[in-house]
Homo-oligomer: A and B are copies of this chain.
Amino acid sequence: MTDQAPIRPEARSPRGFVDRRGHDLLAERRIVARVSEVYERWGFEALETSAFEYADALGKFLPDADRPNEGVFALQDDAGSDEPGEWMALRYDHTAPLARFAAQNWETLPKPYRRYAYGPVWRNEKPGPGRLRQFWQCDADTVGSDRPEADAEILAMGVEGLLATGLTPDQAVIRVSNRKLFDGLFDAGGLTDANQRLTALRAVDKFDRLGIEGVRLLLGEGRLDDSGDYTKGANLPAPLISAIEAFLASSSQTNASRAQVLDAIANVGASLGNAGEAALKELSAIDRALTSMGVEQSAVVFDPTIVRGLEYYTGTVFEAELLMETRDDKGRLVRYGSIGGGGRYDDLVARFTGQTIPATGFSFGVSRLASALRAAGQSDQARTRGPVVVIVFSEEDMQHYLDAVSELRKAGIAAELYLGRAGMKAQMKYADRRNAPAVVILGGDEIAAGQVTIKDLDAGRARAAAIADNEAWKAERPGQQTVMRDALIPTLKAIIE
């Protein structure tokens, strides 16, 4: 669309977008299928909204609103008239579209409305290593319940969902807190300015990265980081900073039970105000419900440093964290950290209707989880098998090849005819690259004799590895057998199964 456009476009994906294929893609889809099965069993109904929402309906809740277009991909609807139309944007998560959907259909929905959703979301971020601008999320939410048991159910289901993907219980944890604890601390400390409160929350959100010292600076005047960048602080009064510090320190015990963490928070000395007291009651009810549902203390822990970056949360907040460590190609330690989270957002539907409709939900990043499982060697160990490949020699015998490949498919065996124009050697290489279990050879001799040759590629590979002498290997033709044509299916089934 510029004057200097080259005649031939360059074949490349847009920055920050990737293609996924074959085995890796199927592994991601399996994760989604297994988690969806859990969500269905827990009584959640499937919903798929479209990629676009009107920008006003989507709202501005992403943490880094200083990016262009507030971090979303937006465009003006230009169809149907000469005037510029309304702004539309691609969804940045599944929660904002759910709030719009629930508000739009509230009268006719069964209430509470429980739905799950999965699919791509888009963030207009500056692309960087490992930072994608399109990724899959998989969510479950309950809209219309203010019960702590609704939060507990989402948490328990989140644990079961993560296990269903192939994680072991020691590889993931969900950390839980309640934003109202901070509302209470702020109220008690006399902090009323909404922007200051938000800046303070975002400072606390950096606790796991910056530690207590970094957070203290960001709650105060500000912080100079190692690169020389200065971040302005929330400028809280000193007593409030101390109260928050004491509060955060209550999370310092490791292996504390959920009840012990609640005790520690209650005894921290800082006044939590009415909001904080309400938060403690809710967390206590969540703990009871989790225990009833048999959720281990190590699977869901209470952690007062959790606040979450998204602005719309109003109460319970949670974050799912991978505890597994893997090593990359260069032997460096890779931690995956957060793979999702969620919480209560009681005001999001009210944006539309004015009527408060309490809601709570959980979301996790499919691609990130898939990549962690893959790195840990826990995605399906068996490589996805390719199809049986029928070798093509001559145009005249095409009929015989087509007969064979049709017969295989009808027998439920994944199969294909080699459709290129290369010779036998290239076809064998092709079959190997497709991870074919076997090739079917119908040469002139075989056809004349009413026979077929079948080469078991796994057996061939295994034997080839065992025989050092290339000439001996060739003479032996390991894994190769010639049988009568009507024995094709049973012979192949014996190889594949």
Using a CB–CB distance below 8 Å, which chain A residues touch chain B? 1, 5, 8-22, 25-26, 29, 40-43, 45-57, 59, 67-69, 73-75, 77-80, 86-88, 90, 100-101, 103-104, 110-112, 114-115, 120, 122, 124-127, 133-134, 142, 144-147, 149-150, 153, 288-289, 292-294, 351-354, 386-387, 389, 398-399, 402-403, 405-406, 409, 412-422, 430, 433-434
Copy number in this complex?
A: 2
Q: Collect the chain B residues with CB atoms within 8 Å of residue A354's CB.
A: 8
A-B contact pairs, 27 of them (CB 8 A): A1-B55, A9-B54, A9-B57, A9-B352, A11-B57, A11-B104, A11-B352, A12-B100, A14-B50, A19-B48, A19-B101, A21-B46, A21-B115, A42-B409, A42-B415, A43-B386, A45-B386, A52-B133, A79-B125, A110-B430, A110-B433, A111-B430, A114-B419, A142-B419, A149-B402, A288-B399, A292-B399
A398–B292 CA distance with the chains assembled, in angstroms? 9
Do B54 and A14 touch across chains, with their CB atoms under 8 A apart?
yes
A47–B67 CA distance with the chains assembled, in angstroms? 31
Do A21 and B43 touch across chains, with their CB atoms under 8 A apart?
no
Least CB distance from A257 to B in Å reads 18
Q: Collect the chain B residues with CB atoms within 8 Å of residue A144's CB.
A: 419-420
Q: Collect the chain B residues with CB atoms within 8 Å of residue A75's CB.
A: 73-75
Do B20 and A48 touch across chains, with their CB atoms under 8 A apart?
yes
Do A22 and B49 touch across chains, with their CB atoms under 8 A apart?
no
Contact among B26, B50, B386, B413 with A19 in the assembled complex (CB-CB below 8 Å): B50
Known A-B contacts A126-B80, A416-B114; the reply to A406 vs B9 at CB < 8 A is no
Q: Collect the chain B residues with CB atoms within 8 Å of residue A40's CB.
A: 414
Known A-B contacts A9-B352, A147-B419; the reply to A77 vs B15 at CB < 8 A is yes
Contact among B77, B79, B124 with A79 in the assembled complex (CB-CB below 8 Å): B124
